[in-house]
Structure 1
Amino acid sequence: MARIVVIGSVARDDVIHLTEPLRAGGHLNGVPTHTRLGGGGANTAVALAAAGHQVTLLAAIGRDAVGEALLAELAAASVITTALAHLDQPTTRSYILVDPLGERTVINVARCEEAAPPQRLLDLPADVVYVRSRRLDLAPLLAAKANDSLIIAHAPPIEPGMRPAHVVVASLSDLTADQGKSRAVLGKTVSNGLARWTVLTAGGAGAHAYGTTEALATPAQRVRPIDTTGAGDAFAAGLIHALLEHRPMAEALTLAVRFGTEATLWPTSGLPAAAVHRLLQEI
């Protein structure tokens, strides 16, 4: 069991199933279905807790009924919630639009976030810190924490030095054409030279990893997605778990892709514990 701190969001997701693909300028029909636990930080934290790790979520929730309900769901998933900030503002909420092919579009309608960076990170023991946040003021904290923890950070932000991390993870869909051409140096730029690996996800096409001397590629199994929400968060959980087991990056990338693909087969924002347990038994 490893000690993991996840920095990110926790949200209430309101899911709407579209009867046709999302298109600009269209007049679409949709069916509201259910609400569920979501947010990039929570999704990753829940999967890692299901994998048997001691996971502390560093996020913010509001002092409202939504926040209290999410707090109970996280605790039920064995995520440590003592580092959550409780703020006098609405808890983060998102609309998740899922089209007939399972592709999701996320619309944030409320965001609960601390005004200042979470300095309490420095007091939390951690073997790994995973960052799933777009905050622009985390670099000093991550640089300090990198002295005694493995830092794995999702980008964006893409700006130089914004994510001092040993492993930088990004989605190709979040990169501009110019950034996509510089895949091998992207992590070094974002991490101010600290990154050992840059990992890029490509949805149904799998993922790539670029190290100092090697480049790796792992294809994804072809599936019919039900809901692609949280696939990147599940990918990150698989990657973190494999690296904590000291697997080489080629194996870690393969496991991460399996986690991400599996997440698309469930009508959830986070990968269910049952799916995590089955995947770990298969590897």
Structure 2
Amino acid sequence: MARIVVLGSIARDDVIHLDQRLREGTHLQGSPPATRLGGGGANAAIALSHAGHEVSLVAAVGTDSLADELLAELSRYGVDVGPVTRLSGSSTHSLVLLDPEGERTIVNLTRARETRPPRRLLDLAADCVYVRSHGQDLEKLLRTKSALCPIIAQIQPLHEGRLPVQVLVGSHGDLDPDILSNPLAAGRALAGDTLRWVVITHGAEGAEAFSVHGERLRATAPDVDVVDTTGAGDAFAAGLAHALSLGMEMDHALPLAVRWGSAKVTRKGSFLDRDCVREILREWTARSSPNRP
């Protein structure tokens, strides 16, 4: 398998199941909070580790006891936490509100976030890098790293700095209409000449990818029962990183990533469990085999 580096967050999530959808001014009933590991970086890193990759996580935690718990849990999932740094103060702690349809709302209570670019990223050997981090000037760092391996990054506002990466990923529901009207133009403004693809996810409708060479691909999502949408975007990005790190072209990588994202919403939790990831990979191998009946 491949060496994959994930740049993102680690969090402790307190999950409350609501009796109805969030609406302004309403009084809702919720379950007592249930705690679980979360954070965009952790979600993607664990799924990739389940797929058999050698995964390193570049992230930050605090100096509290919660940090020790989070790092120990990540290590048990096979993620290399050596590149995780400790910042004075609290680790990231979030409140996740889940409505009866599985849609989630996340409230960050505390955050452990680096303000300087994590230069240790350059010391990590990688076949692929996934960037799930905002609020830092990553341009110089990613320009150097993108010359060595493909990088997938979540689309961020241009004023937060440019991202010279090969693949930009964003959710239709999170992006401004200006970006959605011309994804490639927005992608070029953010990534420059390094850009190869802009990928837009559409939830239950699947995803589409736009190439700088004018190619447009579409992958539909299977019809599934939604249980928990938390981490669906992270699962999609992990599936994309899995595929691209193994040298797949986008026409094969996109539907596989959709399969990862669709599988996540059918399960409770913030990340894909090991059995689910391995089942997806077995199914994909069987479908791709030229000798299948």
Does the CA-based 8 Å contact 1:207-1:257 persist in structure 2? yes
Does the CA-based 8 Å contact 2:129-2:241 persist in structure 1? no
Question: Aligned residues, how many?
Answer: 283
Query: How far does residue 110 in structure 1 lie from its aligned partner after superposition?
Result: 0.6
Does the CA-based 8 Å contact 1:160-1:189 persist in structure 2? no
Equivalences for residues 79-90 of structure 1 within 5 A = 79-90=79-90
Query: Secondary structure of 1:82's partner?
Result: coil
Equivalences for residues 99-138 of structure 1 within 5 A = 99-138=99-138
- Partner residue in 2 for 1:48: 48
- Partner residue in 1 for 2:180: 180
Does the CA-based 8 Å contact 2:137-2:160 persist in structure 1? no
- Mapped to 1, the partners of 2:54 and 2:159 lie a distance apart of 31
- Partner residue in 2 for 1:206: 206
- Mapped to 1, the partners of 2:61 and 2:161 lie a distance apart of 28
- Partner residue in 1 for 2:237: 236
User: What do the CA deviations read for 1:121-179 (whole angstroms, capped 9, x no partner)?
Assistant: 11111111110011241111001111112111111234596111001111111211121
Equivalent residue letter for 1:127: D
- Mapped to 2, the partners of 1:154 and 1:32 lie a distance apart of 32
Query: Secondary structure of 2:227's partner?
Result: coil
- Mapped to 1, the partners of 2:88 and 2:136 lie a distance apart of 22
Query: How far does residue 213 in structure 1 lie from its aligned partner after superposition?
Result: 2.4
User: What do the CA deviations read for 1:4-46 (whole angstroms, capped 9, x no partner)?
Assistant: 1110000001000000001122221111241111000000000
Query: Secondary structure of 1:112's partner?
Result: coil
Q: Percent identity?
A: 48
Query: Secondary structure of 1:191's partner?
Result: helix
Does the CA-based 8 Å contact 1:159-1:190 persist in structure 2? no
- Mapped to 2, the partners of 1:24 and 1:263 lie a distance apart of 28
Q: 4+ runs of 1 displaced by more than 6 Å?
A: none
- Partner residue in 2 for 1:194: 194
Does the CA-based 8 Å contact 1:134-1:155 persist in structure 2? no
Whether 2:250 is the aligned partner of 1:249: answer yes
User: What do the CA deviations read for 1:83-118 (whole angstroms, capped 9, x no partner)?
Assistant: 000122100011110000010111111100123111
Does the CA-based 8 Å contact 1:63-1:86 persist in structure 2? yes
User: What do the CA deviations read for 1:169-196 (whole angstroms, capped 9, x no partner)?
Assistant: 1111121112110123332221022110
Does the CA-based 8 Å contact 2:93-2:110 persist in structure 1? yes
- Partner residue in 2 for 1:269: 270
Does the CA-based 8 Å contact 1:186-1:198 persist in structure 2? no
- Mapped to 2, the partners of 1:65 and 1:160 lie a distance apart of 31
- Partner residue in 2 for 1:226: 227
TM-score by length of 2: 0.93
Does the CA-based 8 Å contact 1:166-1:191 persist in structure 2? yes
- Mapped to 2, the partners of 1:61 and 1:117 lie a distance apart of 15
Structure 2: stretches of 5+ with no match in the other structure: 285-293
- Mapped to 2, the partners of 1:233 and 1:78 lie a distance apart of 18
Query: How far does residue 207 in structure 1 lie from its aligned partner after superposition?
Result: 0.4
- Partner residue in 1 for 2:290: none
Whether 2:18 is the aligned partner of 1:22: answer no
- Partner residue in 1 for 2:97: 97
Query: How far does residue 205 in structure 1 lie from its aligned partner after superposition?
Result: 1.1
- Mapped to 2, the partners of 1:266 and 1:245 lie a distance apart of 26
